[in-house]
Structure 1
Amino acid sequence: EKYRFDWPNIEVPQMVEELRAACSVKLPGSDERGIPEHPNVASKAIDFILANRDYLGYSMKLTLCRFQLSAMSNGNKEEAEKYEKFFHNFLTLENHISAPFRQIIQDSEARIGPNFGNLDLPSFANGHLYERIANYIVLKGMVAHWETKVVDADFVERTEETPEN
């Protein structure tokens, strides 16, 4: 709650500035605060992003990129370079936070993929709680993918071919 946005009262530039403040650290060799050198990240930034995970993410990546491009198109090279450094820091933070989840899902895909036709699920889709949850997510994704294929195939089979379609 300490780092949570006050969503009804905040504008995008304020969000970006609060995120920049959270990502800033005391720079070595000076009294200034700024974005740390890549690949370093601030601990406060991790907490900030986790607190506002629902508002940050892909759309914030686009926003930071737009701010950078806007500064470049206005001829403000120094500001554009700051936004580029900020953008890379944000991407590093995002990858740092979501990498464990992505790895767990990839491991589950590697386990389930070759055994998908095997109806003895407990033989390959068991393990610790986090592994079972990842297996569930992967299986639900596979079911949704196949349901889409079945619906599309059914539509193609039932639709009469005419010159218009």
Structure 2
Amino acid sequence: MAPDGYSCEAAAAVHRARSAAIAGQHAAAGVPIDPVLAQGWAGAPQVDLRTLQRAFQRQLTPAFVAGVTAGQRARRANLVYLERPATFRNQVWEGDHKCLPILVLPPRGRAVAPWVTMFLDDATRLITGWALALSPHARTVLTALRMGMLDDPAYGVAHGVPRLLRLDRGLEFAAAAVTTATGALG
């Protein structure tokens, strides 16, 4: 597989700078070499250009390359997103926390960014339950899970008991209260 144009150009620039630094020069192609890089490369063995190109190709994702070469919209278009096969409703729920990019002024203290804990149904892509808090904890996980299971029009159309929960590695999801509640649901 041939490396793309961006990774070839980037690898060539690194190769020029690295070769110049190893040779004791302070600039490559008229561009000064960062002293930290020059110090790190001093006395290092020479690496050929093709080796660097292969290393860049392995490390740079298509989304990253698209973002650098064509902008943010292209990066988003190349992201791997929801590649799991579709299942039926309530088969799998995914749970996660997300720090919201807004500031809230609580009754006491300084402004903080709130967190949302939510469960998303894999098949329908609907948010089944969510909870807001100043920091994620086991209570927000249980609140979001309860909201997703209640058959109440006020909470939306998606509800039920999931067959499987796919969670991140947050300690809030592994808390004793959460494991006891999910264990009771089977």
User: By the TM > 0.5 criterion, same fold?
Assistant: no
Structure 2 length-normalised TM: 0.23
Could you say which structure has the higher helix fraction?
A: 1
Kindly name which structure, 1 or 2, has the bigger radius of gyration based on alpha carbons. 2
Structure 1 length-normalised TM: 0.25
